[in-house]
Amino acid sequence: MTRVRTRYAPSPTGHLHIGGARTALFSYLLARKHGGDFIVRIEDTDTERNIPGADEKQMAMLKWLGIHWDESVDIGGPYGPYRCMERLDIYNRYVDKLLAEGKAYLSYSTPEEREREREEQIARGEKPKYSGWDRDLTPEQRAKFEAEGRVPSVRFRVPEGKTIVIEDAIRGTVKFESDEIGDFVIRRPDGRPTYNFAVVVDDALMKITHVLRGEEHLSNTPKQILIYEALGFEIPTFGHIPLILNSEGKKMSKRDETIIQFIDQYREQGYLPEAIVNFIALLGWSPEGEEEIFSMSELIDRFSLERVSKAPAIFDTGKLKWMNGQYIKKAPLERIVSLALPHLRKAGRIEENLSPERMEWVTRLVALYQEQLEYAAQIVELTELFFRSDVRYEEEAKAVLSEEHVPMVLSAVAEKWAGMTSFAPDDIKDMFKQVQKETGYKGKQLFMPVRAAATGVVHGPDLRETLSLLGRDTVLRRIRSCVDNIGDFRGK
């Protein structure tokens, strides 16, 4: 059997997008599943749109996600170079071949001529396409254009009356008519190949067996198949992955602000790469069964193109957060702490250099919220009550604090608290026991007022640990202040 070889071919025009990451992931999974190779090729022929360094950044993000390549610009490989702009002589060889065989021609039309032709076609009610008027110029006509200073592009001579059939591994059979396709440029006047040409030469020479990419490329595929045929290359298996829609069912545009779309942004927010990979894998692909949490190796095991859907995938941010939360819960605490620290620092909550005691405190604080955390940046908002000097009492807390027995319970707690010297959760437990004995209040009637007074809210993580982390002075001040101002909560 032929060795499976897949590739991801980003253009270095921006950050790694969710859609691109998904194409890379599916290609990677397919290659790994079959013990094949995964290649990253940089398609940088659209030079006006290239952003310096974008390729390295995208590749760093792929690595972060755990998507590793076997051949690329950084490590080389037997079919390099892997950067298109370094392959110009290779493309030229194939352009020359097509020219020599009459399958392509030098085209001298100017943008103005093409625009005029387009307008005329539209005026006649026709679908605009390049007419190919300069397909068969005489040497004299060519010389005349050259003398005028026109620099030709090379156009592919699209065969007439041909049905192009794509057996797409995801979409099934898709047909296109060659008569709908005008002769298209394969080499620009400045010598750069167009995408549709370079991609064929590259995929063929790099022995790519499966071309997976976004559905938006489906309409390019018939042109590419024509080039494969013209050059006598073997046609790979194509798989066009469905679009990603936002929660409103609209095609996700790169400007859509309701969704974070770039992988680096997720990393900055403190998402875990395993969770992103898991989530992205399920954008258009689904395994058998109900299970949803998969490691990379499980994905490799289960992935198949048959189970990639034709229907668009919906990007559900809530589900991504949930999934990330699942991974955070299971991750070692130190890992979550190291993700949380930069966010706490940036928010000015903690110092740049932490003493061992302070580090221990922060670690306990993060541990307290590990269950609840959906992504690391959330730690700032979740732990706000530990860093404010005043407390904001939510309505439910006010209701609790307005109950009759509250001043008595809080006063007893304050008195005991003031006499304590150690504030470990166990010491706090003992204190509660004593207060219970003295006042006769226990359970909710005892804990709720204390939680409400010390934190301003009625729900939260473990109370003893919370109080322990708030520390002696803060708890005492907050409880006393509630006792002193109890009227505020009773609406008096």
> According to the binding rule CB under 6 A, does residue 194 interact with ligand GLU?
no
Sole residue written with tokens 């046609």: 235
Sheet containing 153-156, strands listed edge to edge, beginning at the edge strand earlier in sequence: 104-107, 153-156, 184-187
By three-state DSSP, how is residue 444 classified? helix
Give percent helix, percent strand, percent coil of the chain, each to the nearest 5.
50, 10, 35
Q: Would you say 223 or 302 has its CB closer to ligand GLU?
A: 223
> According to the binding rule CB under 6 A, does residue 217 interact with ligand GLU?
yes
> According to the binding rule CB under 6 A, does residue 240 interact with ligand GLU?
no
Question: Dihedral, CA atoms, 444, 445, 447, 453, nearest 10 degrees?
Answer: 130
Contact by Cβ (8 Å): 91, 228: no
CB of residue 238 to ligand GLU, shortest distance in Å: 9
Residue 307's alpha-carbon distances to 170, 181, 287, in angstroms, are 8, 32, 7
Distance CA 276, CA 294 (A): 11
Contact by Cβ (8 Å): 227, 204: no
Burial 290-312 (b: 16+ CB within 10 A, else e): eeeebebeebbebbebeebeeeb
CB of residue 90 to ligand GLU, shortest distance in Å: 17
Active site residue 251: no
Residue 330: count of CB within 10 angstroms of its CB: 11
Q: Which stretch binds ligand GLU (CB under 6 A): 6-14, 99-107, 459-467, 484-492?
A: 6-14
Q: Would you say 39 or 199 has its CB closer to ligand GLU?
A: 199
CB of residue 46 to ligand GLU, shortest distance in Å: 8
Binding residue count for ligand GLU, defined by CB under 6 A: 7
Work out which of 4, 5, 6, 11 binds ligand GLU, going by CB under 6 A: 11
CB of residue 279 to ligand GLU, shortest distance in Å: 21
Tokens encoding 325: 């939360």
DSSP 238-277: EEEEPPEE-TTSPBPPTT-TTS--BHHHHHHTT--HHHHH
Site string for ligand GLU, 19-58 (x = CB under 6 A): ------------------------x---------------
Q: Which stretch binds ligand GLU (CB under 6 A): 4-12, 105-113, 327-335, 399-407?
A: 4-12
Which residue, 70, 22, 41, is CA-closest to 205?
41
Contact by Cβ (8 Å): 217, 168: no
CB of residue 65 to ligand GLU, shortest distance in Å: 17
Q: Cβ contacts of residue 418 below 8 Å, gap of 6+?
A: 476
Q: Would you say 170 or 400 has its CB closer to ligand GLU?
A: 170
> According to the binding rule CB under 6 A, does residue 62 interact with ligand GLU?
no
CB of residue 257 to ligand GLU, shortest distance in Å: 22
Distance CA 187, CA 95 (A): 8
Work out which of 213, 321, 451, 478 binds ligand GLU, going by CB under 6 A: 213
Work out which of 40, 54, 164, 199 binds ligand GLU, going by CB under 6 A: 199
> According to the binding rule CB under 6 A, does residue 10 interact with ligand GLU?
yes
CB of residue 177 to ligand GLU, shortest distance in Å: 22
> According to the binding rule CB under 6 A, does residue 9 interact with ligand GLU?
yes
Annotated catalytic residue within 144, 250, 251, 254: 254
Residues between 407 and 446 with contacts to ligand GLU, criterion CB under 6 A: none
Q: Would you say 43 or 55 has its CB closer to ligand GLU?
A: 43
Binding residues vs ligand GLU (CB under 6 A) = 9-11, 43, 199, 213, 217
Q: Which residues are part of the catalytic machinery?
A: 254
